[in-house]
A and B are shown apart, each in its own frame.
Chain A
Amino acid sequence: MKKFILKFLIFFFLVCLSFFPIDYFISYHLKKSKCYLIGEYGVWNDIYSGSINADILIFGSSRARSHICSKILEDSLNRSVYNLGIEGQNFWLQYLRYKEYLKKNKCPKFIIISIDLWMLDKRTDLYNYQQFLPYMLFNKNIFDYTSSYDGFSFFEYFFPMVRYIGEREAISEAFKNIVYPSVDTLHREKGYYAKEMAWNDDFDKAKASLRYWESKPDSATVVLFNKFLLDCKEKNIGVVFVYTPEYIEGQKFTKNRADIISYFEDISKDEGLSFLDYSADEMSKDRNNFINVSHLTRSKTLVFSRKFVSDLKRHNEITGIDNSN
């Protein structure tokens, strides 16, 4: 009996030990993916390598990622800009990016927050959870901000390889990066990435299945958002809110849209922040500018970015950054 248990434990131990190098190997190569998960790995790599150190950061969801071109802002403002927009996520995980960013990079001077109607809602599913795989082992921040989702179990954060069990797609992606490294072509330009596509039927499908949609802000996320604003104030980081263009017909679909927008307007007034709202902008009125209700086509995002940066200048927001730190 003892012999059996001892041998089993030795075998088990050796198997577990071997998981460390395998885990490292998979993570190392998975991080190289550019196309997979709309290039989120590229952004995380830049964050963890501490190579961003931008003056201006853009936070938000895919609307931030695809609507605000970092390069246009950079050229116009003559300051370094990086877009940290994270696909499909609300503020809970946008804040995680902020925390991780500050661990490795210098504090920004200015933050642009791209507002979404569902930004303060709580998602239960961990959308695009694979983006955390290479970075999450023993990472307390990722554990703190993702463990409340229906995503990973405790063991996956603290035991090597457990999170890769059954992750065939991610493992295949890692191996693909070894065998065909040049196949990956998607490149997020300082975090920005947008697609040139025709209007799709997402909105029609939504209308067919739902009468309306309602945002349900989550109290914990609201507290976190306020904490973030306070933190920015303490760190002397300037903040601007922007509501990027949204197709006008789709705006009617959200039942409590006015309440959510006025909530952010109130905060901006209370905190003395600018809120640039493009909901009623000419761009929002033409369906041809959009892929779906919330996302502009790539060419229009470039037009919007130019417009946005000139508005920023007009509002004297960014130009007023203190250059001393």
Chain B
Amino acid sequence: MLFNSIDFAIFLPIVFILYWFVTYKSLKLQNLLIVISSFVFYGWWDWRFLILMILSASVDFFVGILLINQFNKKKRLLLLLCSIVANLGILAFFKYFNFFVDNFISVFSFFGVAFNPISLKIVLPVGISFYTFQALSYTIDVYRKKLEPTKSIVNFFAFLSFFPQLVAGPIERATNLLPQFYVKRTFDYSKAVDGMRQILWGLFKKIVIADSCSTYVNMIFDNSHQLSGSTLVIGAFLFAFQIYGDFSGYSDIAIGTARLFGFLIMRNFAFPYFSRDMAEFWRRWHISLSTWFRDYLYFPLGGSRGNSWMKVRNIIVIFVVSGFWHGANWTFIAWGALNALYFLPLLLMNKNRQNLEIVAHGKIFPTVKEIFNMSVTFGLTLLAWVFFRAKSISQALDYLSGIFSRSLFTYPEIRPRYVLILVIIFIVIEWIGRENQYGIQKTGLTWNRPFRLLFYYVLILFILYFAGEEKEFIYFQF
């Protein structure tokens, strides 16, 4: 079920009413309702995906149970490995099988050894990378004794399948979300209103910004070989806002929906395009994944401790793995590697933690230096996004060589004026709200109610105008 669908618009109020009016008196019933509604939400795509998720979740639940009374270090490690192998095995099969087979064949054929290709028609289950990582966070935290494992399978399934963030995150930590299922949730008016506002903003980002950009992005990337450099820059620019509007829009809807049910889930985006360097960008982009890799991969590898070579190795590993997490294609690996290259100089010069606060904090306008830094950072991300969006490495390289050609200074063939105006309005709103959790969290709160409601109303009209065909969120494919 898509957040931007009529199905969800009907589903959400039904679950909300059942949750707060029918099952309100019993915590167990509330959690059970969350499990059932999450299964309905997920099974709406394909009920067979549900079996896979239940299988994966069951392994982690029972591993957690077995870890409770297991004090033998080796056996504990063995149990952890069982969980990791099961989760990553499923992920590897469904997401990476064909990729590995194809590359295996390519390598051997390069050396003159021919194989009959085995290519399976594997359907990638929606959101598999997200819930796999969420499940892994549970087992690893239990193993590390950071978290008491739950003995309730309902609570565990509620945690793992919680529908607002099931298919595209934020990838929650068990230490944050699971305990929220143990305590009675009380309805909080201001949080619910805030949740609704965040949902509205998320829908605006997705439907008005991302989907509008996508039309031109597809047009430009599909015909990149015959377009001028200036048009290709527009394509990359719009893709940057498509992916941001799409993914952060999803996260906003997820966080807002969770708030309606009394849950607080982690922030996933913090105005990344206002970053002044790449390190700041990565603290603000897809926070739940970045911190996941930091906690469960980067730190165990040694983090920023050790000699320079170790630091370089660790950074390259997490960025490349992070890229590969996004999809079984060399383009994602290249995207990750390129970001590692961007990041490394800052780390080696010890400048990776110099911009911790949001830009121009407490001020209206940034300084010239800040504008310059933001522009450079945005420009670098733009180049990296080309790899992310391209179908192959060669297309990405052609696209980049097209940008850096003489035609960069020609008049673009495709001029999406209204989309560019929308993006500029969007940037202005985000800039105004950059010190808050999301763009419009405080916008209009000091205004008279009629003006505030009018603002929301205008957003709704925009959403209705740009709605129509339900376009899937980009990150569903990951």
Interface residues of A (CB under 8 A from B): 1, 3-4, 8, 11, 15, 18, 153, 161, 164-168, 171
Whether the Cβ atoms of B468 and A4 lie closer than 8 Å is no
B460 in contact with A166 (CB, 8 Å): no
Provide 11 A-B residue pairs closer than 8 Å at the C-beta atoms, listed in order of the A residue. A4-B187, A4-B189, A11-B453, A11-B456, A15-B457, A161-B464, A165-B465, A166-B464, A166-B466, A166-B469, A168-B466
- B-to-A contact residues, CB < 8 Å: 6, 20, 187, 189, 192-193, 196, 453, 456-457, 460, 464-469
The answer to whether A8 and B468 touch across the interface, beta carbons within 8 angstroms, is: no
List chain A residues, Cβ under 8 A from B453: 11
Beyond A165-B467, A166-B469, A168-B468, whether A8 also contacts B460 by CB under 8 A is: no
Are the CB atoms of B196 and A8 closer together than 8 Å? yes
Q: How far does the alpha carbon of A161 sit from the alpha carbon of B464 in the complex, in Å?
A: 9
Point out the residues of chain B lying under 8 angstroms from A18, CB to CB.
457
Chain B residues contacting A11 (CB-CB under 8 Å) are 453, 456
Cβ contact of B465, chosen from A1, A3, A4, A168, cutoff 8 A: A168
Contacts of B460 in A (CB 8 A): 15
Residues from chain B with a CB closer than 8 A to the CB of A171 are 465
CB of B370, distance to nearest CB on chain A (Å): 37
CA A270 to CA B192, docked complex, whole Å: 71
Q: How far is the CB of A119 from chain B (nearest CB, A)?
A: 31
Residue of B nearest to A10 (CB): B453
B202 to chain A, nearest CB (A): 17
Residues of A within 8 A of B187 (CB): 1, 4
Query: Which chain B residue shows the least CB distance to A7?
Result: B193
A153 to B456, CA, bound (A): 26
Query: Nearest-CB distance from A281 to chain B (Å)?
Result: 44
Q: Are A1 and B20 in contact (CB under 8 A)?
A: yes
In the bound assembly, the distance between CA atoms of A171 and B466 in angstroms comes to 11
> What residue in chain A is nearest B191 (Cβ atoms)?
A4
Knowing A1-B187, A4-B187, A15-B457, say if A165 contacts B468 (CB, 8 Å): yes
| CB-based contact A4/B193 at 8 Å | yes
Please measure, in the bound complex, the distance between the C-alpha atom of A176 and the C-alpha atom of B468, giving whole angstroms: 20
Instruction: Give every chain B residue within 8 A of A161 (Cβ-Cβ).
Output: 464
**Distance from B23 Cβ to chain A, minimum over Cβ atoms (Å):** 14
A167 touches B468 (CB 8 A): yes
Determine the chain B residues whose CB is within 8 A of the CB of A8 once the complex forms.
Answer: 196
Q: Give the residue name and chain of the B residue nearest to A19 (CB).
A: B464
Residues of A within 8 A of B456 (CB): 11
A4→B192 contact, CB < 8 A: yes
Leading 5 A-B pairs by shortest Cβ distance? A166-B468, A166-B467, A1-B187, A165-B464, A165-B467
Q: Which residues of A contact B20 (CB under 8 A)?
A: 1
A3 near B469: Cβ-Cβ < 8 Å: no
Q: What A residues does B193 contact at CB under 8 A?
A: 4
- Given A11-B453, A15-B457, A3–B468 Cβ distance below 8 Å? no
When distances are taken between beta carbons in the complex, the residues of chain B under 8 Å from A164 are 464
- A167 surroundings in chain B (CB, below 8 A): 468
Chain B residue at minimum C-beta to C-beta distance from A18: B457
User: How many angstroms from the CA of A164 to the CA of B467 in the assembled complex?
Assistant: 9
CA distance A15 to B463 in the complex (A): 13
Bound Cα distance A15, B465 (Å) = 14
Give the residues in chain A near B468, CB-CB below 8 Å: 165-168
| Neighbouring A residues of B466 by C-beta, 8 Å | 166, 168
Provide the bound-state CA to CA distance between A18 and B453, in Å. Answer: 13
Known contacts A3-B189, A4-B189, A4-B193; A166 and B465 CB within 8 A of each other? yes
In the bound assembly, the distance between CA atoms of A273 and B147 in angstroms comes to: 86
Give the residues in chain A near B465, CB-CB below 8 Å.
165-166, 168, 171
Residue of B nearest to A153 (CB): B6
CB distance from A149 to the nearest CB of B (A): 17
* Neighbouring A residues of B469 by C-beta, 8 Å: 166
- Tell me the complex Cα distance, A168–B464, Å: 9
Q: How far is the CB of B364 from chain A (nearest CB, A)?
A: 31
When C-beta atoms are compared, the residue in chain A nearest to B461 turns out to be: A22
B467 partner residues in chain A, CB cutoff 8 A:
165-166
Tell me the smallest distance from the CB of B418 to a CB of chain A, in Å: 10
Cα(A153)–Cα(B470), bound, Å: 14
Q: Give the docked Cα–Cα distance between A161 and B457 (Å).
A: 14
With a cutoff of 8 Å between Cβ atoms, the chain A residues found around residue B464 in the complex are 161, 164-166
Q: How far is the CB of A140 from chain B (nearest CB, A)?
A: 23
Q: How many angstroms between the C-alpha atoms of A153 and B9 in the bound complex?
A: 15
Residue on A with the closest CB to B187? A1
Most buried by B among A4, A164, A167: A4
Measured in the bound complex, the distance between the Cα atoms of B466 and A164 in whole Å is: 10
Quick one: which of B20, B196, B464, B466 has the most chain A CB within 10 A? Answer: B464
Alpha-carbon distance A4/B189, docked complex (angstroms): 6
CA distance A15 to B453 in the complex (A): 10
A161 to B461, CA, bound (A): 10
| Inter-chain contacts of A15 with B (CB < 8 A) | 457, 460
Q: List the B side residues contacting A168 at CB < 8 Å.
A: 465-466, 468
* Closest CB in chain A relative to B20 CB, distance in Å: 6
Task: Tell me the smallest distance from the CB of B13 to a CB of chain A, in Å.
Answer: 9
B456 and chain A: residue at smallest CB distance: A11
Q: Smallest CB-CB separation from B193: which chain A residue?
A: A4
Bound state CA distance, A3 and B193, in angstroms?
11
- CB-defined contacts of A1 to chain B, threshold 8 Å: 20, 187, 189
**Measured CA separation A11–B193 after assembly (Å):** 12
In the assembled complex, the Cα of A171 lies from the Cα of B457 at a distance in Å of: 18
Q: Distance in Å from the Cβ of B52 to the closest Cβ of chain A?
A: 32
Given A1-B20, A4-B193, A171-B465; 5 other pairs, CB 8 A cutoff: A8-B196, A11-B453, A15-B457, A165-B464, A166-B464
Within the complex, the shortest CB–CB distance from A102 to chain B, in Å, comes to 34
Pick the most buried of B453, B465, B469: most chain A CB atoms within 10 A of its CB: B465
